Amino acid sequence: MVTLVRLGLLGGPNLISLGVLTLVVAGVLFYWVYDDAVGRGMDDAALWALGVGVLTLLTLVGGFLALGVSVYTRE
């Protein structure tokens, strides 16, 4: 375990950059879904955006699946 940490395979700048990238992707998807839903006059725009944003933070793949469902169910 100590050897892996010393080699930089666990944690460090790589893990921080992955976290920041995930936050940026979640924020962009949240904003895009919210803006699109408000533009279409949907009453539950905040719920769609919140669902996509939270799923993106929890699992990146889940966020993109939720985005696909959001796009598919647009009015």
| In the predicted structure, residue 10 carries a pLDDT above the cut 90 | no
Structural contact between residues 70 and 42, judged by C-beta atoms closer than 8 angstroms: no
Domain range summary for the chain, segments of one domain joined by +: 21-72
| In the predicted structure, residue 45 carries a pLDDT above the cut 60 | yes
Average pLDDT, the chain: 84
pLDDT for position 74: 79
The whole-model pTM stands at 0.76
Q: Which has the closest alpha carbon to 54: 42, 45, 63, 65? A: 63
| In the predicted structure, residue 7 carries a pLDDT above the cut 70 | no
